[in-house]
């Protein structure tokens, strides 16, 4: 769900107003179940990513306004919380799902309102929990309900004074490239195989830079996907022979320093364990950048460093011939599931993460 922009731009006061209006609206529309009970509200979102998406939508006056709004919402009522879950949609989803399961086990819980009308990914979860014999699940509808949730037959509510009915759009990018399409951002519902010469390591064709080659490049189908909020990494075209030469230096303990060659100078200086003295050509630098991109940036899509040399999405996803599903071709891919297009098949799945990424 997306709060109305005028409330967000009011900062702390707007957040408090949103909390008060939300509570009053629930009391009004759910009066049959609100006798002597307390209303609890938890909003889960990626603060950094969502604030940038709101800014690109064109209505957010400042990033500080959004931060202040979340504080005001949390301060507005003792049982209201706006929770920053960090990078990765699955973090918000898992928190919302577990919170729902917990309250369904609580006999004192009268009703659960879920602001997930836009997210078809909740369909399997709703199938799991909607068999509650007390009919305690209702969906708050902001953006139009997706078909996968409509077929569940669960009741819906609208709070038009609080939530907007349209998804966020990348209006800034649209004004620059009118024909581009972008995946909308919302409040969270509450590798690599070296390519042949002439092929870039960007897994998405949407923002690829045209490259002229002497021989036709092999055509590889890429899924149409735009991660948020940073977007796609600029593609890098490499020569296979140069790439293999740079990779051999790694196996021979003569690995070149990424920071020295791609950003420079290396802050470790003579204490750095990687090589600084090699005279790299322009083609060498492309290969070094390509290999650096195979390592995930610790900030993922929340990274705001323009010259970041690391990857912000998996570059090894293709759609194989005769298939409609995206497949990650990387062996033991270093990227996490949220760094891949939705529904990606992991050909060489890696062990689940054992720690959070910061």
Give pLDDT tens digits along the chain (358 positions).
889 999 999 999 999 999 999 998 888 877 665 556 789 999 998 888 888 888 888 878 888 899 999 999 999 999 999 999 887 667 888 899 999 999 999 988 989 999 998 888 888 899 888 887 888 999 999 888 888 888 888 899 888 889 988 887 766 554 444 443 333 333 333 322 333 344 344 443 333 334 333 444 444 566 677 788 888 888 888 888 898 888 888 766 678 998 899 987 888 888 888 889 889 899 999 999 998 998 898 888 888 888 889 999 988 888 877 777 888 888 778 888 888 888 888 876 554 443 333 2
Strands in 317-319's sheet, in edge-to-edge order, are 317-319, 326-328, 345-346
User: Residue ranges of the domains in the chain?
Assistant: 5-157, 192-358
What's the whole-model pTM score? 0.53
Helix (H) or strand (E) holding 113: strand 112-114
Q: What pLDDT is stored for residue 188 in this prediction?
A: 33
Alpha-carbon gap, residue 222 to 225, rounded angstroms: 9
Tell me how far CA of residue 315 lies from CA of 56, 229, 234, 328, in angstroms.
25, 17, 11, 8
Q: What pLDDT is stored for residue 299 in this prediction?
A: 85
Question: In sequence order, which ranges of 3-105 are alpha helices (DSSP H)?
Answer: 5-8, 11-29, 47-57, 63-76, 89-104
The interaxial angle of helices 11-29 and 63-76, nearest 10 deg, is 50
Q: What pLDDT is stored for residue 69 in this prediction?
A: 95
Tokens (6 digits) for 332: 């033991």
Q: What pLDDT is stored for residue 182 in this prediction?
A: 37
**CA proximity to 291, closest of 329, 346, 331, 236:** 236
Going by the DSSP 8-state scheme, the letter that residue 33 receives in this structure is G
Integer distance in angstroms from the first to the last C-alpha of the chain?
Answer: 25
Q: What pLDDT is stored for residue 349 in this prediction?
A: 58
Cβ atoms of residues 210 and 218 within 8 Å: no
**Residue that has been written with the tokens 């009970």 in this structure:** 37
What CATH number matches the domain at 5-157, 3.90.550, 1.10.10, 1.10.3470, 3.40.50?
A: 3.40.50
210 exposure class (CB count in 10 Å sphere: 0-12, 13-18, 19+)? exposed
Alpha-carbon gap, residue 153 to 138, rounded angstroms: 10
């Amino acid at each position: 769900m997306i709060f109305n922009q005028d409330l967000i731009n009011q900062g702390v006061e707007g957040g408090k107003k949103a909390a008060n209006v939300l509570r009053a609206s629930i009391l009004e529309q759910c009066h049959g179940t609100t006798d002597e009970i307390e209303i609890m509200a938890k909003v889960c979102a990626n603060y950094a990513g969502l604030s940038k998406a709101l800014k690109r939508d064109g209505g957010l006056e400042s990033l500080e306004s959004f931060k202040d709004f979340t504080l005001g919402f949390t301060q507005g009522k003792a049982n209201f919380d706006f929770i920053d879950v960090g990078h990765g949609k699955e973090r918000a989803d898992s928190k919302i799902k577990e919170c729902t399961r917990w309250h369904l086990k609580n006999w004192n819980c009268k009703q659960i309102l879920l602001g997930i009308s836009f997210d078809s990914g909740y369909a399997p979860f709703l199938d799991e929990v909607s068999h509650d014999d007390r009919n305690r699940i209702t969906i708050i509808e902001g953006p139009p309900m997706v078909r996968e949730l409509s077929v569940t037959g669960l009741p819906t509510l609208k709070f038009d004074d609080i939530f907007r009915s349209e998804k966020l759009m990348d209006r800034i990018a649209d004004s620059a490239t009118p024909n581009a399409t972008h995946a909308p951002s919302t409040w969270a519902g509450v590798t690599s195989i070296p390519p042949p010469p002439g092929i870039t390591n960007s897994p998405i064709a949407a923002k690829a830079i045209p490259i002229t080659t002497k021989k036709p490049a092999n055509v590889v189908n890429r899924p149409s996907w735009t991660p948020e909020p940073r977007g796609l990494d600029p593609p890098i075209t490499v020569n296979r022979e140069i790439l293999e030469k740079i990779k051999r230096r790694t196996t021979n303990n003569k690995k070149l320093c990424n920071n020295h060659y791609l950003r420079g100078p290396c802050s470790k200086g003579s204490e750095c364990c990687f090589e600084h003295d090699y005279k790299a050509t322009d083609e060498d630098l492309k290969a070094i950048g390509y290999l650096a991109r195979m390592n995930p940036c610790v900030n993922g899509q929340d990274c705001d460093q323009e010259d970041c040399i690391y990857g912000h999405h998996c570059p090894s996803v293709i759609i194989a011939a005769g298939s409609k599903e995206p497949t990650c071709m990387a062996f033991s891919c270093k990227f996490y599931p949220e760094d891949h297009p939705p529904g990606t098949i992991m050909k060489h799945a890696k062990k689940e993460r054992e720690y959070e990424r910061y």
